[in-house]
Structure 1
Amino acid sequence: MLPLTDTFQRKFYYLRLSITDVCNFRCTYCLPDGYRPNKDRDSFLSVDEIARVAQAFGQLGTTKIRLTGGEPSMRRDFSDIIAAIHQQPAIKQIAMTTNGYRLAKEAANWRAAGLSAVNVSLDSLDARQFHQITGQNKFTEVMAGIDASLEAGFPVVKINVVLMKHLTQQLPEFLDWIKHRPLQLRFIELMETGEGNDYFAKHHLSGEHLRRQLVDQGWQLVARAPDAGPAQLFSHPDYQGQIGLIMPYDKDFCDSCNRLRVSAIGKLHLCLFGEQGIDLRDLLHADDQQPLLQARIQSSLANKKQTHFLHQGMTGMARNLSYIGG
C-alpha cells in the first residue's frame, strides 16, 4: 500500500494517537493548573476503536504509531491497547511518550505486549527543579524508569526536554549524562499555545542557538529515516548517546512533515496547530466500516496546509499540549 500523500507530495508514515488527555503532572508549560476534566467531552476511544484506527492507518501505509496523552499510562487498559495495535501486521513500530512515573514498574510488561520505543519527558536533571516544573516530587521514580526501560531491552530510550532559556546552563550536565548511555536526548522548542502566551514570551529559546553550539563541539547531523519524527539528529564519536533538536519555528520545519494525529475522542488532526479536527468516530463502530474510514482519512489530506503558521502567532485549537498529544 502506498503511503498517504498530501497535495504538497509529503508522505505520511507516522500516526500520533492520543488515548487520553488526562495527566497526573502539572508541568508549567502545559498544565500549570493541573488537569481539568471536560464534562461535555465524549468518552475516550475504546480498545476496539483504537484497533480499528490502527488497522485503517496501517492499510494506508502507516508503519509507526506513537501513543500519547495526556499521560497514556493513566489508562488501566494500556497494555491491552499496545497488544491490540501490535496485532496489526503493517504497524512495525509502537512507541509511547510518557512522563515516566510508571515505567520502573511496567517497562518490561509493556515491552512484552509489543511496545518498541519509549520517550520520557525529563526537563531537568536537578530533582528540586524537576519538582518545580512538573508539580510532582517524582524525579527518583522517573530516573529509575529510564533505567528499567534500558534493562527491558528498548534499543534506544529517548528523553524529551523542552528547550527553555534556563537550560543553557544545564547543557554540560545533560551531555555528561548521555556520554556513556544509549539515550537520545531531544531538545524541543517551547511552542506557543492558546493558554500559554505569557509563558512562551518569557521562556522561549530558539533551537538554532543550541544547534550552533553542538556543531562547534563536533556533533554531526545523522540521516533521517522515512518514519522518523521531526528531530534533527546529531551524533558525536565520543558519546554513546545522541542529541535531537525539534525546532517548529525553523523555516523549513513543515517541509518534512510525515505525521498525522488522532485525538483521544477520535478526531483526525492534520496538524498539531490545526483547527477543530475531522470526526472519525462514527466509522469506528464495526470492522465493516473500514473502507469508508480509510476513504475519509485519505480525502481529508486534501485540506492539509503547507505550514502551521506558528510564525504568525496562530496557535489554532491547541489550548495546551495535552489536548491532542503534543
Structure 2
Amino acid sequence: MHGTFAPPQDSPLVDPFARRITYLRVSVTDRCDFRCQYCMAEEMTFLPKADLLTLEELDRLCSAFVARGVRKLRLTGGEPLVRRGLTTLISSLGRHLKSGALDELTLTTNGSQLARFAPELAAAGVRRVNVSLDTLDPDEFRRITRRGDLAPVLDGIAAARAAGIAVKLNTVALKGVNEEQILPLVAFAHEAGLDITFIETMPMGDIDGDRTDHYLPLDAVRRQIETRYTLAPSAYRTGGPARYMHVQGSGRRIGFITPLSHNFCESCNRVRLTCTGTLYLCLGQDDAADLRAVLRETDDDRVLHAAIDAAIARKPKGHDFVIDRPGAAPAVKRHMNTTGG
C-alpha cells in the first residue's frame, strides 16, 4: 500500500471552536467475536463486505489525515483483530511512524486474538494497546460478553507485554454487574504493572435493555477505589478523553472517562472514521460525512482533502448524551461497534 499526499503541513485541521484535530479513531470492522451487553444486541446483523473500506482505502484515508496534522491513529472495531489482513494495514501505516509524521499507532481490542497477533503488532510499530476487561470472574465475563472466555484475554495481555507492547485496561462500569470487580481489577492492574481506565456506559444503540439500569457514575467508582487506595491528581495525558489519577505508593495510574457525569467536550481533539468511510465528528451526534463516496469517485486527493475540510468545519461543540431518564431512547441509534469502540 502506498499513496502520495501533498497538502501543506502548515494546514492543520481546526474545528469551528479552534480545537486542533490531532487524533483519529478508525473502525476497521463492525464485526466482533463478543457481544458485550453494553455495546451491541445479542443478535446482530453485520455489514456486507462490499460496504467496508478496503485496506488500501483505509490506508489512503488515514494517510490523508496524517498529512493534515493527525498525530495519533487508533484502530478499533468491533474487534479490529478479526479483520483479515489487518497487520498488513498496520505495517503500511507504520511508515508514518518512521517518517516522524505520526507519534503513535495503536489499537483497542477485546484481547481475544492478542496472543496470536502480538509479535506482528510489535514488529509493525505498535507500542501500546488498550484491552477491554470488565471483570476477572470467568462466569461473569461470559455473561457480559455473551460468548467470550476470560483465559485467552489474560493470555493476550501477557503476550503483548512479552512482545514489548504496553497494555492499558479499559473497564466499563456497570451498576449491578461489575461493581464488586472494581477493586479486584485495580489490584490486578497494579500488580501486573498496568494502568486502568474506567468508563461510563454510553447511550448508543439498542442493546436489548435499559441502560439506566446499569449506569454507574464514576464518582461512585472513585469513592470505592479510595476506600483502599490514595489517589492524587496527575497531569498525565494520552491524547484521549481520560483524566488520570496517580495511585500513591504504586507508581500506577487510574483513568476516568466520564462522557455523562462530567463531559470532556471542551478539549475534544478527535474524530471517528467508520469501516464504511463515514466520518463522525462527535461520538454523541449523528452528523457525519461520507468519505467512501469521495474515495471511490476520484483518485484526486485534493477532492478528498476538500471533503475532510468541509466535514471538520461542521464539528459541534459537544455531545447530547443523557442517561438519567428511565426508558429514554438511546442518544444515537448506531451501536458502538458501528462507530468504533
Is TM > 0.5 for Structure 1 vs Structure 2? yes
Separation (CA, whole Å) in 1 of partners of 2:205 and 2:111: 26
State how 1:1-326 maps to structure 2 within 5 Å.
1-2=9-10, 3-39=12-48, 42-88=50-96, 89=99, 90-154=101-165, 156-166=166-176, 167-196=178-207, 198-214=209-225, 217-225=229-237, 228-275=239-286, 277-285=288-296, 288-311=299-322, 315=330, 317-326=332-341
Q: Secondary structure at the match of 1:45?
A: coil
Percent identity of equivalent pairs: 35
Against the structure 1 CA distance between its residues 318 and 63, is the aligned structure 2 distance closer, same or farther, given a 3 Å change threshold? farther
Question: How big is each residue's C-alpha offset from its partner over 1:264-319, in whole Å with a ceiling of 9 and x where there is no partner?
Answer: 01111101122152011233249952222122212212211111111386845442
| Matched positions, count | 323
Separation (CA, whole Å) in 1 of partners of 2:56 and 2:298: 9
Q: Report the TM-score, using the length of structure 2 for normalisation.
A: 0.88
- What code does the residue aligned with 1:143 have? L
Q: Report the TM-score, using the length of structure 1 for normalisation.
A: 0.91
Deviation at 1:320, TM superposition (A): 1.4
Against the structure 1 CA distance between its residues 200 and 10, is the aligned structure 2 distance closer, same or farther, given a 3 Å change threshold? same
Deviation at 1:197, TM superposition (A): 7.9
Deviation at 1:192, TM superposition (A): 1.1
Question: How big is each residue's C-alpha offset from its partner over 1:63-97, in whole Å with a ceiling of 9 and x where there is no partner?
Answer: 11110111111111011110121123322211111
Against the structure 1 CA distance between its residues 287 and 149, is the aligned structure 2 distance closer, same or farther, given a 3 Å change threshold? farther
Against the structure 1 CA distance between its residues 116 and 289, is the aligned structure 2 distance closer, same or farther, given a 3 Å change threshold? farther
Task: Show structure 1 runs of 5+ residues with no match.
Answer: none
Task: Show structure 2 runs of 5+ residues with no match.
Answer: 1-8
Contact map agreement 2:106 2:126 (CA 8 A) in 1: yes
Deviation at 1:50, TM superposition (A): 1.1
Aligned Cα root-mean-square deviation (Å):
2.2
Contact map agreement 2:111 2:153 (CA 8 A) in 1: yes
Separation (CA, whole Å) in 2 of partners of 1:100 and 1:177: 16
Against the structure 1 CA distance between its residues 73 and 150, is the aligned structure 2 distance closer, same or farther, given a 3 Å change threshold? same
Contact map agreement 2:118 2:160 (CA 8 A) in 1: yes
Deviation at 1:108, TM superposition (A): 1.1
Contact map agreement 1:119 1:157 (CA 8 A) in 2: yes
Q: Secondary structure at the match of 1:205?
A: coil
Against the structure 1 CA distance between its residues 202 and 293, is the aligned structure 2 distance closer, same or farther, given a 3 Å change threshold? same
- What code does the residue aligned with 2:257 have? I
Separation (CA, whole Å) in 2 of partners of 1:257 and 1:231: 11
- What code does the residue aligned with 2:57 have? E
Q: Secondary structure at the match of 1:179?
A: helix
Contact map agreement 1:17 1:263 (CA 8 A) in 2: yes
